[in-house]
Amino acid sequence: MKKNKNSSKKRNNYIKASDSKKKRALEFFNRCTLLLLIVILVSLAVCFDRPYELAKPSVHGPALWFLHLTAWPLLFLPGVVNNISWAHNTPVMHYLIDTNPALVLAILAAMLLGVIYLLFRRYGIAWFGVSGLRSAGHFMLIFAGWGILQLVICAVIVLQDTNTLIPFHPVKTPPAAVQSSK
């Protein structure tokens, strides 16, 4: 009697070890990109309809700095669209540039993130290999962590401004300094 072996290798329904490394690297890159997108959207929610003032301390300042840094490579686009096209005096451009600049920053940051995601997703493994794609994911994770830190700083500023950063136990006041008269 002949045994019939149904080898998965012959039927090509197995995952090679190198393919699983690629798959894990792509999934890690996808998760890190999604986390960075969520941080950008939360920063937009914090800064939405707030003035663009980076010189004065404000509650939304750290989140606005985060959006500004993430959109920095594409900051020339609103100026180009504003100066070259017919849109320079429209209410939409006035709203985006003057009234709510955080929305423009978030749109530009999401566009840049999308371009980077598509480039690395399509060509990342071919150009840099699996370790390069994982490194790009780690860079996005570091950037998202920095954005989360900026959002935590915004939360601390809100808590400090509303006087909710009080201790849970009464703090003893130090006794008045005893002045010795000589």
Query: Does residue 166 lie in a domain region?
Result: no
Q: pLDDT digit string (tens) for 49-96?
A: 887 776 777 788 888 889 989 899 888 887 787 778 777 778 877 787
Query: Does residue 62 lie in a domain region?
Result: yes
Q: pLDDT digit string (tens) for 90-149?
A: 887 778 777 888 899 999 999 999 999 999 888 877 888 888 889 999 999 999 999 999
**Model pLDDT, residue 78:** 78
Q: What is the DSSP string of 21-33?
A: HHHHHHHHHHHHH
Structure tokens at 86: 């017919």
Structure tokens at 97: 């540039």
Number of structural domains the chain divides into: 1
Query: Does residue 4 lie in a domain region?
Result: no
| Domain containing residue 26 | 16-79+88-161
| Cβ-contact 78, 97 below 8 angstroms | yes
What pTM was computed for the model?
0.74
Query: Does residue 143 lie in a domain region?
Result: yes
Cβ neighbours of 55 (radius 10 Å): 6
CA angle 123, 127, 133 (to 5 degrees): 75
